[in-house]
Amino acid sequence: MKLLDGQTAIITGAASARGLGKAMASLFAAHGARIAILDLDAAQAEDAAADIGDGHMGLACDVTRKQDCDEAVATVLEAFGQIDILVNNAGITQPLRIMDITHENYDAVLDVNLLGTLNMSQSVIPHMRGRKSGKLINMSSVSAQRGGGIFGGPHYSAAKAGILGLTKAMARELAPDGIRSNAICPGFIATDITGGKLTPEMMDQILGGIPMGRAGEASDVAGCALFLASELSAYVTGSEIDVNGGSLIH
């Protein structure tokens, strides 16, 4: 059974071959969705879209720029006619300690993770409101819940915690319009977001805190996103779903 047959999904920050966004794009496509991959580099976004099959599209978009988001949404609507799902996946991190965070570091991390989520959501909400239907899926992190302790600095924890608050506020405001808003909180997932800066010692420490004893895979997160994007979660909104192997148990 194809859970997303005939639907259209925008996934931001999805051009990285080993990233969460690409895994979600592939799984959504396998379940019948048309995918628009948004990333900073147009060629990389187009290549990623081609990788997952025919009929998908890749677009350049800097989510920190509202105009970019508006233009990307307009292009997707012109090509596909509708947007059913938005996954706010674009994000960056920096392994800084509290006293090392500069204003520039703060702006970079907060703008991509938190402002980018707001910008893209604002760009698709009018269309979703008009159709009385839509699913917003926002990528938070276990770092928001436990105050870091994995890789990103305190400003990353703050940005991802902000996403949780924004997700819940959007869920409350948009529910009467038929729009659901949920967040996913991954634990340590084996992707390229750390930029090769994760030392073997850091890896050992991280794995020591995960009861399941392994790093997560991008597919672990993609499966959760598919649930939130489909009608299997029709009565779920304002939630934060943990995908962390037990590293944080509420």
Q: Which residues are catalytic?
A: 156
Distance CA 37, CA 103 (A): 30
Q: Helix 154-174 crosses helix 116-131 at what angle (to 10 degrees)?
A: 10
DSSP states along 179-219: EEEEEEEE-SB-SSTTTT---HHHHHHHHHT-TT-S-B-HH
Cβ atoms of 125 and 69 closer than 8 Å: no
Distance CA 51, CA 225 (A): 20
Cβ atoms of 12 and 210 closer than 8 Å: no
